[in-house]
Structure 1
Amino acid sequence: MGLGENFHAVEIVILLLLVLVAVFAVMANRLKVPYPIVLVMAGLFISFVPHMPRVPLDPNIVFVIFLPPLLYASAWTASWREFRRNAVVIGLLAVGLVGFTVWGVAEFSDRFITALDWKAGFLLGAVVSTTDAIAATSIAKAVGLPRRIVDILEGESLMNDATGLLALEIGLGIILRDHTPTLGSGAARLIYLVVGGLVIGLLIGIIVGWLEKFIDDGPVELVVSLVVPYAAYLAGERAKASGVLAVVACGLYMSRKSTSFFSPTVRLQVNGAWEALTFMLNGLVFVLIGLQLPYVLAGIHGKYTTGTLIFYGAVFSGILILLRMIWVFPAMKLASYVERRWMSHEEETPSAREVFVVGWTGMRGVLALAAAISVPEVLGDGRPFGPRNLIVFLAFCVILVTLVLQGLTLPALIRRLGLASKGGMDREERDARRIVLLAAVHHLEAARKHDGPPTEHMYDDILHRYRHKLAAVGAGAEESLDALDPKMVTRLQTILEDALNVERRTLIGLRDRGKIGDDTLRTMERELDLAESRSQISPIA
């Protein structure tokens, strides 16, 4: 097959995957199920369809192509304040839980899985030790978990990749070179991974942040924002530090600084493009996970009976969930004590229900599968590494169980435990809106006095709008948005949307009758789009 034919085949496969992502994402939305679960299951079922093109998952593609932009997007939307506030529990989960998982899996494998000894079990533990930032946060947000739990899960999944990759590095060293590092050398390597990755990421962020002062063009900003995560990741890996943490640090820094160097128009363009990009990459990742089953089964075919494989997969997944539960309860209690005693935090200690949900939401994703596939088939002395296919199979089982079983049960679980987010505006947001609106009103009143009668009517119109907003968010101590009649708010939003739809239909009619050109239509259509997006966020905007 020639180069052109190969390229054509790749084009067809990519097109097919994107169509699958779009179709099943719509289906997930209709079913009210988080789309990662539906896409994984779809890939799983499609993998058995005869004559379907096979799409093997290359770990290099995951680590170099998919991982940097997805991590960058997750870091961009993360809250630095909440990340810092939950630093103790995130550290206990991202470092302590990874080590506990690796040790627990090694001990279990050595005692209960005939084909695995302690060394192979250590490597298996390293493979499945890290939660997936993509899977955990997308499902957690979709099912309406409380904000604090989402922040903890997001921080853990962003930070535990460094410790997981270190554990994988140690596990491969033990298997391939029969070399077990000392506790001191392991700690030194972890410190270098973390500090080196953070420093490199921040340095790239500072440089790009300075360059951003000279750019204010949407397409150029989008190209720069796409280059940055890859640059941070490759620089971190080149320095033998953590490329993952370099991307995370850079994303957190750039997100904080973007409020000063992005103009409103550019911000709309870049955010819209990134939303589409992350959805597409996420969708491809989860479909690819499901499509790997034939490869996983082919590698282990004939070595174990079906019953044995199902038993191994179910028991191992249960052990992994149990290990997380065992660690999470004392870790959350210890973190709360440290935060209140030495960090002067005033948050209440998480309830047992909240801790249980944190323990239940340890989802694995494509990183675990990529790490498993990256395990070599041949040892350093040329002998085949027999347990390799079983490690890949068990990692695949863990991904399916944690994504599908835990993901599907999460909504019912959080409702049963009374933890479902009520939605709407919380006190912090309401107070911030009131302060900002009052500042604007005071400025407008002072400016109206300064400008005098000629522009008084314009100020009156604008002030009327701002005072209307204040009435909604609570102008006084007793007033709040919660006191408003939801039906009236919904009706107001409907009235505004109906008016905008009339404008839109009239505008399109003018274009269709040749009264205006497409350029004029696009200009006015953008204004209507912005107005409609504002009305969907706040009907009084």
Structure 2
Amino acid sequence: MSPADNLHAFQLVFLLLLIFVAAFTLLARRLNIAYPIVLVVAGLLISFVPHIPVVPLNANLIFLIFLPPLLFSSAYATSWRELRANGLSIGFLAFGLVAFTVFAVAEFSDRFITALDFKSGFILGAVVAATDAIAATSIASSLGLPRRVVDILEGESLLNDATALLALEFGLQMLLDGTTPTVSHALVRLLWLTVAGSAIGFVIGFLVAKLNDVIDDGPIQIVISLITPYAAYLAGESVHASGVFAVVAAGLYISRQHATIFSPQVRIQLHSVWDALTFLLNGVVFALIGLQLPVIMGFMHPNYTWPQLLGYGAIFSLILIALRLIWVFPVAWIAHQIDLRISRHPNPTPNPKSVFIIGWTGMRGVISLAAAISLPQTLGDGRPFTTRSLILFLTFSVILVTLVLQGLTLPPLIRALKLSTPHRTDEEEYEARRTSLNAAIAYLEQDQASQGDRFAHIYEDLIHRYRHRLAAVGGPTEDDPNHRLDGATYERLRHIAAGAIHAERNTMITLRNQGHLSDEALRKMEHELDLQQSRYEAAND
């Protein structure tokens, strides 16, 4: 096949993947099911259709192309305050649970899976130890879980990729070189991965923030933001530290600085670009996971029968789920006891129901599959790594079972445990809105007094608008200190405002169609209307 034919084939497959992602994500939303579940299941079912192109998943493609922006986006959306407040619980999961899983799987494999010895089981444990950031949080956050549960799940999935990949490094060292790392060597290596990786990430984030301070050009800043996760990842890996920690640190730093280094227009653009990019990357990744079964089965030894493989996959998946549940309950209590002694503002006592949900929400994803695919096909002495295919299949089974079984059972479990809370704006957010609006009103009144009556009508109009918004979020006004718009009144206000905005938009489009308004001017004015409408929506969240 010529290079042109290869390019055309790639374009066709990529186009089909995009159509696949769009169609099945739409179906997922219609069914009210998290889209990672639907995409994986749909990909699995489609893989059985005759003449469907086989699309092998390349591990380097995942680690070098998909992983950095996805990690960066997750870190950017993470609250540093919540990450620090839940640091003990997250640390016990991201570090302790990974180690517990690796050694427990190694012991289980050595005793109950005939084809696997302790070293192969250690590698299998490292491959499946990390939870998937997107799978867990996209499912958990949409179900009305308590905010602290979602924060812990997000923090764990951000950090455990690095510790699982370190465990995989040790496992391959034992398998290929026949050497077993000492505890001191493991601790030093872990310290270098975390500290050096995080330091590099913060330096990258600092330099990017300084660069954005002197640039006020949306497209250029968007390009810089897209380069940042790759720069952090490659910089971390180049010194044999953790590229994962480097990306997370850079994302956290820039997230903390975004209010001062980006203009409002650039922030809106960045949000739109990154929202679309992360959705596209995640969709393609989960679709590719589902399509991997034919590829994996192509590596399987003919001695394995389907009943044997299905039995191995089911039992191993249940064991992995049980290990997580066994770990989370005592560790939640230990973390709380430590928190009581060292923190001035300790977290509340763990709710057993919430702890169970944290234990149940341990979905695996593309990092596990990419790690399994990256395993060598030969050992250090040149012999074939015969158990590689079984590790691949078991990893795929775990991803499928945890995504589908745990993902689909989460909503009824949350309802049964009465953990779901209606979406509402936190009181501190209400207070922040009230404070900022009062500050704006105070500024306008003070500035009006200094300017006299020259622009009185402008100030009065702006002050009126701010007081109206203040009333909408529960702030007192001079006319009625206890006044607050109730839900029905505010809904009517939104309806009237939406009608006025709709009339404005239709008029603009008519003028454009009649040749009295340019497309550029229309886009600018319509964007202003969108922002105006979004303010009404945000004030009532």
TM-score range, shorter chain: over 0.9
- Aligned amino acid, residue 120 of structure 1: S
Corresponding position: 1:156 with 2:160: no
Return the letter of the residue paired with 2:498. E
CA distance in 2, matches of 1:44, 1:535: 43
Q: Is the 8 A contact 2:286 2:366 kept in 1?
A: yes
Aligned to 1:116: 116
Q: Aligned pair 1:375/2:371, yes or no?
A: no
Q: Which amino acid aligns with 1:402?
A: T
Structure 2: segments with no counterpart, 5+ residues = none
Counterpart of 2:520 in structure 1 is 519
* 2:403 corresponds to 1:430: no
Give the drift of 1:210.
1.3
Letter in 2 for 1:216: D
1:80: how far off? 0.4
Which amino acid counterpart does residue 157 of structure 1 have in structure 2?
Answer: S
Q: CA, structure 1 residues 382+301, in 2 after alignment: closer, same or farther (shift >3 Å)?
A: closer
Q: Which residue of 1 aligns with 2:6?
A: 6
**Aligned twin of 1:358:** 358
The one-letter amino acid of 2:496's match is I
Aligned to 1:239: 239
Matches within 5 A, 1:391-470: 391-470=391-470
Contact 1:69 1:230 in 2 (8 A): yes
- Tell me, yes or no, if the aligned pair for 1:472 and 1:480 is still in contact at 8 Å: no
**Matched ranges for 1:220-259 at <5 A:** 220-259=220-259
Which stretch shifts more, 455-464 or 235-244?
Answer: 455-464
The answer for the alignment partner of 2:503 in structure 1 is 502
Q: Is the 8 A contact 1:34 1:143 kept in 2?
A: no
> 2:104 matched to which residue of 1?
104
Amino acid across the alignment from 1:202? F
SS in 1 for 2:475: coil
What does residue 473 of structure 2 align with?
473
Q: Secondary structure at the match of 2:455?
A: helix
Change (3 A) 1:369 1:115: same
Could you say what secondary structure the match of 2:296 adopts? helix
Q: Which moved more, 1:414-423 or 1:323-332?
A: 414-423
Deviates more, 1:139-148 or 1:26-35: 139-148
Runs of 4 or more above 3 Å deviation: 476-481
So what's the TM-score if we normalise by structure 1?
0.97
Q: What is the alpha-carbon distance in structure 1 between the residues aligned to residue 303 and residue 502 of structure 2?
A: 63
Q: Give the deviation of 1:377 after TM superposition.
A: 1.4
Q: Once the 2 structures are TM-superposed, how far is the Cα of residue 155 of structure 1 from its aligned partner?
A: 0.6
1:329-348 → structure 2 map (5 Å cutoff): 329-348=329-348
- SS in structure 1 at match of 2:423: coil
The 5-angstrom pairing of residues 52-131 of structure 1 reads: 52-131=52-131
Moved more, 419-428 or 237-246: 419-428
8 Å CA contact 1:493, 1:539 repeated in 2 = no
Q: Tell whether the 8 Å contact from 2:472 to 2:490 is kept in structure 1 after alignment.
A: no
The structural deviation recorded for 1:330 is 1.1
Superimposed CA distance per residue, residues 191-244 of structure 1 (whole angstroms, 9 cap, x where no aligned partner): 111111001111111111111111111110011001110010011111100000
Amino acid at match of 2:103: W
Structure 2 match to 1:322: 322
User: Per-residue deviation at 1:473?
Assistant: 2.0
Question: What is the aligned partner in structure 1 of residue 306 from structure 2?
Answer: 306
**How big is the shift at 1:331?**
1.1
Counterparts of 2:522 and 2:431 in 1: how far apart (Å)? 39
Cα offset, 1:458, TM superposition: 2.0
Q: Partner of 1:135 in structure 2?
A: 135
1-side partners of 2:518 and 2:157: how far apart? 50
In 2 relative to 1, CA 480–218 (structure 1 residues): closer, same or farther, beyond 3 Å?
Answer: farther
Cα separation, 2, equivalents of 1:486 and 1:475: 15
Provide the alpha-carbon RMSD of the alignment: 1.7
Deviation at 1:3, TM superposition (A): 0.9
Contact 1:497 1:535 in 2 (8 A): no
Corresponding position of 1:349: 349
Q: Distance in 1 between matches of 2:347 and 2:395?
A: 37
Amino acid at match of 1:276: A
Partner SS state of residue 43, structure 1: helix
Q: Which residue in the other structure is 1:273 paired with?
A: 273
CA gap of 1:456–1:513, structure 2 versus 1, over 3 A, is same
Question: 1 CA distance for matches of 2:535 and 2:439?
Answer: 20
The Cα shift of 1:484 comes to 5.2
The 1:45–1:479 alpha-carbon spacing in structure 2 relative to 1, beyond 3 Å, is farther
The count of aligned residue pairs is: 539
**Would the aligned equivalents of 2:376 and 2:385 in 1 still touch at CA under 8 Å?**
yes
The Cα of 1:539 is off from its aligned counterpart by 6.0
Q: Which residue of 2 aligns with 1:35?
A: 35
- Deviations, residues 63-98 of structure 1 (Å, cap 9, x unaligned): 000000000000000000101111111111111000
1:249 Cα deviation from its structure 2 partner: 0.3
Deviations 1:336-357 (A, max 9, x none): 1111211122321120000001
Alpha-carbon distance, 1:397 to partner: 0.6
- The range that moved more, 69-78 or 335-344, is 335-344
Q: Distance in 2 between matches of 1:387 and 1:341?
A: 47
Question: Which secondary structure does the structure 2 equivalent of 1:420 belong to?
Answer: coil
CA distance in 2, matches of 1:421, 1:58: 40
Quickly say closer, same or farther: Cα 1:285–1:480, change in 2 above 3 A: farther
TM-score, length-scaled by structure 2: 0.97
* Deviation, structure 1 residue 534: 2.3
1:533 Cα deviation after fit: 2.4
Aligned to 1:195: 195
Paired residue type of 1:534 = R
1:483-498 to 2 correspondences below 5 Å: 485-498=486-499
- For residues 302 and 499 of structure 2, the distance between their equivalents in structure 1, rounded to whole angstroms, comes to 64
Instruction: Find the aligned partners of 2:520 and 2:225 in 1 and give their Cα distance.
Output: 28
CA offset digits 1:257-294 (Å, max 9, x no partner): 11111001111111111110000001001000000011
Q: Deviations over 1:364-410 (max 9, x none)?
A: 10000000111111111111111111101011011011111111111
State the secondary structure of the residue aligned to 1:453. coil
Q: Describe the shift of the 1:30–1:479 C-alpha distance in structure 2 as closer, same or farther (beyond 3 A).
A: farther
Q: 2:481 and 2:296 mapped to 1: Cα distance?
A: 59
Matched residue SS, 2:454: helix
Structure 1 residue 530 and structure 2 residue 541: aligned?
no
Q: Is the 8 A contact 2:69 2:226 kept in 1?
A: yes
Structure 1 distance, partners of 2:533, 2:438, is 24
Deviation at 1:301, TM superposition (A): 5.3
Change in Cα spacing, 1:456 to 1:30, as seen in structure 2 (3 Å) is same
Q: CA deviation at 1:476?
A: 5.4
1:517 positional shift: 2.2
